[in-house]
Amino acid sequence: MSDDDSDIFFEYEYDQEDDLDESSFCFSSDGEDDVMFDVDGENSDTPQTKISDTLANVGANGTLYYPWNVEQFIENKLLAKLDKLANGTLTACSIDELLIMLQVKGWQEDEVLNDYFDNRDKLYEACGLPVGVPMRNTLKKIKNYSCFVCCEDYSETYVYSLTCGHTYCINCYYSYISNELANGGPITCIEPDCKYTIPYRDVTDIFDIVNKTNHGGVTTIKSMVENPLLVANTKAMINSKRKYKWCPATDCNGFAELVGNVNDSVESLSSAKESVDISKVPIVTCSENHEFCFDCNYENHLPCPCWIVKKWIKKCNDDSETANWIDANTHGCPQCQSAIEKNGGCNHMTCKKCKFEFCWICFEDWKKHRNDYYSCNKYRNERQEDEQRKNRSKQSLERYLHFYKRFAIHENSMKGDLKTMAQIDTYTRLYMEDLRDQGKKNLSWNDIQFLPTAMRALQNGRKALKWTYCFAYYLGKSNFATIFEGNQDFLNKTVEDLSEVFEQIMSKKNPDKVGMILKNKTKLRNLSELVNSRKNMLINGARANLDDGLLWFDNEI
């Protein structure tokens, strides 16, 4: 866990980039569009272990994995295989040929090698590469062309053909390729029964012309990692293999690769049904530092085990409509917050629970209305307290709502925090760039390193807090459960304190935002450390108590 974190930090890409091994996952293309503060996740606090010459991350609970995104994966994994063949054993083949062969053979470079030396022509034929003749693909502009597929008559257009000579216009080829990409496999000539495969470079060229982008007609790493065919192929591969899992975060292009004997580990993960050993929950991160669980493919849900999470989500989905109805049709008592539905009568309300009298219109104390022209003195207490309504099902719904509300509140707050943090991020970045442009050196990036750390602490603190409500919902009653709730309160308070500091910084009343950040440096530092340690205390405590049987999940719930 992160209380024994090593001191590896590389938030600002230009700080430590040179430390990174070429072969490692930490590829950053140009750094321009990277987010400066990684606000979600704690990848940079993640210890790393060296396995077979590449750096693997050790996730919470000791899961070994590589965090990737598609571009990094293509560059570091796939193109490395290509490089090995192109510059080592199969120098006679062109890059295009090698890429097609690798794709057909599922990126097993050994298989390509074996088949090549076994029977080159057979391999070429299987890959849709020309045998006995040179590759004669053409992409050229011609005049007065009628395309057989779209039936359009062009006065001038680009046309494309493979070695076979079957020619179609570039628009048709573009739509055809775009359409076929979903399959993730090699794409052949449009002509039926023609097996020639379209090479990667041609796809880049065709897309460049139609989209008016430019990769300059030369093969670069950028043109390769952006190649639609390679990207589609990579995605298909990630989808089909168990050792890869996409990051569940919205719009995230990242994924994680499990290291080691995947079948063993995946089985041991999913065999942990009904287990209370949360030290087995395989928490990993993607390249964007989003933490998620490799087993249930949900965000980091510690301290809850996966099966509790599934139960909870199912319950929330089942009951969310109920909760929504209650939200829409009831109002909390101003004093005790019990949900009250007004099903008729006047606006002088008395809470059944705490007997507080209030006005349904203004939610103020009813006494304030006494001398007003607005009078509800005809009110008769027709609805006597109905003890029977407080039956068990109501209680259990109340109990559920209690936890669900808090769960949902923290989920929403997480989104709010993210927004605030993005603002602070932009603000600070602009400020720092200003300083840099003016040549002033009075504040360095190192001086505000505490900021991203604090943001991460807040996000992770909230996430853990959120899941503690799911945890607490299923928890059986015991003294240790009370202690757990106490720790939960502590974490709650610290998280709110930390969140408040960020809010104050971004408050409209505060003109000097950077000044405020620096003024609050110690506070932010202390609070984020406190959040982290309280979060860890909560999770570690839960784990230990579950192990010892002092905490248990109530199966009745």
Closest listed residue to residue 349, CA positions, set 335, 328, 329, 327: 335
> Looking at 6, 29, 49, 179, which residue binds another protein (CB under 8 A)?
179
Partnered with residue 283 across adjacent β-strands are 293
Rounded to an integer, what distance in angstroms lies between the CA atom of residue 459 and that of residue 11?
Answer: 16
User: 257 forms bridges with which residues in the sheet?
Assistant: 66, 244
Rounded to whole angstroms, how far apart are CA atoms 294 and 274? 17
DSSP 83: H
Q: How far is the CB of 191 from another protein (least distance, A)?
A: 5
- Any contact of residue 192 with another protein (CB under 8 A)? yes
Q: Is 155 in the site for another protein (CB under 8 A)?
A: no
Contacts with 501 (C-beta within 8 Å, 6 or more apart), sequence order: 520, 523, 524, 527
Closer residue to another protein in complex, CB, 172/458: 172
- Which stretches within 130-280 are classed as H helix? 170-180, 200-211, 221-225, 228-240, 262-270
CB of 42 to another protein, least distance (A): 44
Q: How far is the CB of 190 from another protein (least distance, A)?
A: 5
> Considering the rule CB under 8 A, would residue 168 count as an interface residue with another protein?
yes
181 vs 272, beta carbon nearer another protein: 181
Contacting range for another protein; rule: CB under 8 A; set: 94-102, 172-180, 309-317, 405-413:
172-180
Which is closer to another protein, CB of 180 or CB of 327?
Answer: 180
- Other Cβ atoms closer than 10 A to 494: 24
| Interatomic CA distance for residues 283 and 467, integer angstroms | 14
Of the candidate spans 104-112, 175-183, 210-218, 486-494, the one that interacts with another protein by CB under 8 A turns out to be 175-183
For another protein, which is the closer residue by CB, 149 or 323? Answer: 149
**CB closer to another protein out of 177 and 551:** 177
Total residues in contact with another protein, by rule CB under 8 A: 15
Distance CA 486, CA 469 (A): 12
Query: Given the complex with another protein, which of 90 and 147 has the nearer CB atom?
Result: 147
Q: Which is nearer to another protein, 29 or 175 (CB)?
A: 175
Contact letters (x/-) for another protein, 259-278, by CB under 8 A? --------------------
DSSP string for 475-502: BPPSHHHHHHHHHHHHHHHHHHHHHHHH
* Closest to 301 in 3D by CA, of 286, 316, 282: 282
Which residue's CB is nearer to another protein, number 174 or number 469?
174
Question: Is residue 151 part of the contact set for another protein (CB under 8 A)?
Answer: yes
Of 111, 191, 208, 365, the one binding another protein by CB under 8 A:
191
Q: Does 176 bind another protein (CB under 8 A)?
A: yes
Residues in the chain: 557
- Strands 244-246 and 291-293: what pairing? unpaired
User: Cβ 193 to another protein, closest distance in Å?
Assistant: 8
Q: Which two tokens stand for residue 130?
A: 């020309």
Among 58, 139, 149, 418, binds another protein (CB under 8 A): 149
Binding segment for another protein (CB under 8 A), chosen from 43-51, 143-151, 482-490, 493-501, is 143-151
User: At its nearest, how many Å lie between another protein and the CB of residue 134?
Assistant: 25
Sequence-distant (≥ 6) Cβ neighbours of residue 33 within 8 angstroms: none
| Contact region with another protein (CB under 8 A), list: 114-122, 176-184, 346-354, 540-548 | 176-184
- Tell me whether residue 103 or residue 532 sits nearer to another protein (CB atom): 103
Of the pair 189, 524, the CB lying nearest another protein is at 189
* Binding-site member from 51, 131, 142, 150 for another protein (CB under 8 A): 150
- Residue 303 tokens, joined: 């301290």
User: What backbone phi and psi angles, to 5 degrees, belong to 47?
Assistant: -65, 155
175 interacts with another protein by CB under 8 A: yes
- H/E segment holding residue 156: strand 153-161
* Binding residue for another protein, selected from 152, 267, 512, 554, defined by CB under 8 A: 152
Per-residue binding letters, 89-128, with another protein (x by CB under 8 A): ----------------------------------------
Closest CB 169 distance from another protein, rounded Å: 11
170-180 vs 200-211: helix crossing angle, rounded to 10: 120
Residue 161 CA to residue 489 CA, distance in Å, equals 68
Least spacing, CB of residue 553 vs another protein, in Å: 46
* Residue 240 found at the interface with another protein (CB under 8 A): no
Tell whether residue 79 is a contact of another protein (CB under 8 A): no
11 vs 202 by CB, closer to another protein: 202
- 413-432: which residues touch another protein (CB under 8 A)? none
- Select 189 or 432, whichever has its Cβ closest to another protein: 189
Q: Residues near 271 by Cβ (< 8 Å), separated by ≥ 6?
A: none
Tokens matching residue 222: 């950028």
- Residue 532 · residue 555 · CB < 8 Å: no
d(Cα 315, Cα 552) in Å, to the nearest integer? 19
Closest approach of another protein to the CB of residue 146, in Å: 10
Nearer to another protein, 176 or 403 (CB): 176
Decide: residue 1, CB within 10 A, 0-12 exposed, 13-18 middle, 19+ buried: middle
Cα angle 497-8-527, degrees, rounded to a multiple of 5:
10
Choice between 163 and 300, CB closer to another protein: 163
Stretch that binds another protein, among 77-85, 164-172, 459-467, 502-510 (CB under 8 A): 164-172
DSSP 388: G
Q: What is the DSSP string of 23-40?
A: TSS---SSSTTS-SS--S
Exposure string for 287-298, b = 16+ CB within 10 A, e = fewer: bbbbbbbbbbeb
Should residue 220 be labelled a site residue for another protein when binding is judged by CB under 8 A?
no
Among 14, 117, 148, 325, binds another protein (CB under 8 A): 148
- List residues near another protein by CB under 8 A: 148-152, 166, 168, 172, 175-176, 178-179, 190-192
